[in-house]
């Protein structure tokens, strides 16, 4: 563990989910593959799609509607719908198909369980702190094993913007009825997690490398470069309080 700023009293631990409590990369690959197979089966014209067709349509949609970036489920649904229209299906067919395809994708998106070691760690931390999740993704926290462990999970939807915007942090603090310095947010992203938490007045623990990332040396070099750059640019107020390389290091908070 590296300490950059001495942590203060903590009442709540907030966790990012993707790539913090689990390796999200194979999960997303499987969900994306399942979605394409589903669309090829239900809408045969999509068999001509390039493998990255949905991403391509997403990019186009974001150019005209940048606010969609803050709701990944809505963005995916609209991309599927527009893709089906581009493939020659009617507006009605595309709309209905996009709703059903998104539901299919979301099933596979959350079709996994947290490891026993992570569950055991969170269960131990829960004895001393309130636990919540603040994520930019759309995983179902209950389905993956967090039901009964965290008090609630927040995702950017219904007007809530993604981290590093402070919307979800402020909502969480209001629901918990605690002051910002008493919440420590743990996540793998220096931008969305560390910067988001610090700008909201909260404490931050940076998991680097991310969960499942084996490029420890490269990540560490990038981390040092980033931190040096922040200090040189007088942005040390956005440094994490601590940096951990493994979730197990959070046991020091017990």
What residues are annotated to the active site? 16
Instruction: Give the span between the Cα atoms of 190 and 182, in whole angstroms.
Output: 20
Sequence-separated (6 or more) residues with CB below 8 Å from residue 63: none
Burial class (CB in 10 A: 0-12, 13-18, 19+), 234: exposed
Instruction: Give the span between the Cα atoms of 218 and 237, in whole angstroms.
Output: 25
Burial class (CB in 10 A: 0-12, 13-18, 19+), 143: middle
């Amino acid at each position: 563990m590296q300490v950059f700023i001495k942590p203060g009293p903590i009442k709540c631990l907030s966790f990012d989910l993707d790539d913090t409590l689990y390796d999200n990369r194979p999960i997303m690959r499987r969900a994306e593959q399942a979605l394409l197979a589903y669309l090829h089966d239900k809408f045969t014209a999509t068999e001509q799609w390039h493998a990255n067709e949905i991403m391509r349509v997403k990019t186009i949609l974001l150019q005209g509607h940048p606010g969609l970036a803050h709701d990944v489920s809505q963005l995916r649904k609209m991309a599927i719908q527009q893709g089906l229209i581009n493939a020659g299906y009617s507006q009605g067919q595309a709309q209905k198909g996009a709703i059903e395809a998104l539901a299919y994708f979301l099933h596979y998106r959350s079709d996994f369980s947290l490891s026993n070691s992570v569950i055991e760690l969170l269960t131990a931390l829960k004895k001393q702190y309130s636990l919540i999740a603040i994520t930019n993704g759309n995983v179902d926290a209950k389905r993956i094993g967090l039901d009964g462990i965290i008090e609630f999970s927040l995702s950017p939807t219904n007007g809530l913007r993604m981290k590093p915007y402070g919307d979800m942090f402020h909502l969480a603090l209001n629901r918990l009825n605690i002051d910002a310095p008493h919440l420590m947010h743990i996540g793998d992203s220096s931008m969305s997690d560390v910067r988001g938490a610090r700008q909201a007045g909260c404490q931050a623990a940076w998991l680097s490398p991310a969960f499942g990332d084996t490029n420890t040396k490269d990540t560490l070099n990038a981390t040092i470069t980033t931190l040096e750059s922040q200090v040189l640019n007088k942005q040390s107020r956005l440094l994490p309080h601590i940096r951990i390389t493994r979730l197990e290091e959070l046991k020091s908070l017990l």
